[in-house]
Structure 1
């Protein structure tokens, strides 16, 4: 049978949605298996249909789906796949969402707002998922939204290994693009043994995706600056941060981020910005129209595959990051 890996009486099944099949195939290759054949289609009305083409009874099933546009279609597709597996008697179902959908709606900033990240967790649970696996959640509190295990994976070791191999750290400064990422930037700074700087900015709450950079805390003059963040959406924050660093005497700017959302006009902004390199992972699909000369894409598949292996073998996902970086 294809798409099923066995160990004794245990069976591991990998299922992919249509959002990012290249990543799912890479994960399967790392696990020395293949993806389970699935009949997935949309009817003329827009409704989604899924059917597993092989038995999954008693299997440990992992449903991999990334969340680029159209995010709501991919969400429904993964929910329906989970429901399909539940009704086909899979023993355990794990949602693998490398980029957690609606992760930025994790709290109420003003009255009469939703907490959509919690709603997503409830939907996964209702559909039949017993576990969620995701990479670099926008807010750590999302782990508490799901009533079950949530494996929070970190891309930092993948990105940091690449930085160590390609960047001269003798003149490097790690920079947090805003106050919310200071804790993460501090970990980067400690592990790379380089100084830390912080950009203080203020976002206009009445205008979406508009950022004003105010001042830089720390010395960046004559330094190569490494901006670290969990995601790049429209690139407004990153580009303004890079411009501020250059205006304050930085010799160069490198950006390292996990999730390349790249909503318009991100590609145009990044292509024309004073940024030497943009380093991201492939948690989200990156078609040709989202690629540009300074972009470097690292594979997240080995990290996800190792986490899946640990879950399947009843091992420790936490142990993957003990002493990491």
Structure 2
């Protein structure tokens, strides 16, 4: 691999960044992050990056404000150190959920984040499975938008008998996402009618599609508190499904999520490592799929000027 390529990581997911580097045969580039006595972050790049092609890995995970600020300061330091190009690698872009003005006097924060990422020094962005495809258009710099769907296709083909399966979208907004998985698995799809009444509370109604007696595969972009999944399980059980399995790219798993999954009739849950899942959030029914090889190949292609889109042809 070219010596002009440098990969740095913030503190949000060092494990993923390290695996990306190992796949590429590189060492993780060195930086130091500390705090002043007033809690301000301090970042120092510990190697030469002048005229280098630099990638910074940092998903937007809790504490989100700190991880975002750390990314901004790292990129600004790299720009000051004369890096030739800076790519913000954001495996999980949490503010993609804020993509529209659906209440009075609120910020479309996804657009604000896109502007701030560019201002902080990013020349391009590499991310995965945005909550809304519209967020891609918020950026005025190039964005490479990866998907983990091929990993879930392989996972479900290996673990399930798909002859009697159906892919389920938990609301109309996720139908396009679930439809992509259903198409790759050559399966029918069903959609649950959902109304969100609060951040952690949803109300569901009818199921559109045939699920009775079938093995349901719920497919989401992320699992946060697990509130939507809990409601979906009740809805599908009432509709007579045979079994329930779950796939979600981003295993945020905050609050009561793990307990909800473990205590539910869900037979298996698959997430990727875009978000680091600590030991206390791991459980037998939760399987983690590593997307480090895909990010590594995308980084290699960006560095060499090859097509990233060709990865999914």
Using the alignment, how far apart are the partners of 1:6 and 1:228 within structure 2? 38
- Per the normalisation by structure 2, the TM-score is 0.98
Confirm whether residue 140 of structure 1 aligns to residue 133 of structure 2: yes
Distance in 1 (CA, whole Å) between partners of 2:291 and 2:41 is 28
* 2:183 alignment partner in structure 1: 190
Instruction: For 1:124 and 1:272, locate their aligned partners in 2 and report how far apart those are by CA, in whole Å.
Output: 39
Deviation at 1:274, TM superposition (A): 1.2
- The 8 Å contact of residues 93 and 128 in structure 1, kept in 2 or not, is answered as yes
Among 76, 82, 94, which residue is 2:87 paired with?
A: 94
Determine helix, strand or coil for the equivalent of 1:230: strand
Alignment map for 1:254-293 (pairs within 5 Å): 254-293=245-284
TM-score by length of 1: 0.94
Aligned-partner Cα distance in 1 for 2:99–2:243: 34
Deviation (angstroms), 1:103: 1.4
Structure 1: which 5+ residue stretches go unaligned? none
1:204-215 alignment runs, 5 A limit: 204=197, 207-215=198-206
Instruction: Determine the structure 2 residue equivalent to 1:162.
Output: 155
C-alpha distance in structure 2 between counterparts of 1:188 and 1:21, whole Å: 29
Alignment match of 2:299 (pick from 296, 308, 313): 308
The answer on 1:35 being equivalent to 2:28 is: yes
Paired with 1:311 and 1:110, the residues of 2 have a C-alpha distance of 38
Distance in 1, matches of 2:83 and 2:44, equals 13
Q: Please state how far the C-alpha of 1:68 moved relative to its aligned partner.
A: 1.7
* TM-superposition CA deviations, 1:198-239 (whole Å, max 9, x none): 1111111xx322111101111111111000010011111012
Which consecutive segments of 4 or more residues in structure 1 shift more than 3 A? Answer: none
Give the 3-state SS of the residue equivalent to 2:177 in structure 1. Answer: helix
Determine if contact 1:101/1:120 at 8 Å carries over to the other structure.
Answer: no
> Match of 1:228?
219
Partner in structure 2 of residue 122 of structure 1: 115
Q: Contact conserved, 1:135 with 1:155, CA < 8 A, in 2?
A: yes
Q: How far is 1:143 from its partner? A: 1.1
1:79 aligns with one of 67, 72, 76: 72
Structure 1 CA distance, aligned partners of 2:140 and 2:73?
Answer: 19
How far is the alpha carbon of 1:44 from its aligned partner?
Answer: 2.2
Describe the superposition over 1:246-285 as per-residue Cα deviations: whole angstroms up to 9, x where unpaired.
Answer: 2211111000000011110111111111100010001001
Asked if structure 2 preserves the Cα contact closer than 8 Å seen for 1:65 and 1:78, the reply is yes
Query: Are residue 297 (structure 1) and residue 297 (structure 2) matched?
Result: no
Q: Which moved more, 1:211-220 or 1:89-98?
A: 211-220
- Determine which of 2, 7, 27 is the counterpart of 1:6: 2
CA distance in structure 1 between the partners assigned to 2:199 and 2:288 by the alignment: 27
Q: Paired residue for 1:24?
A: 17
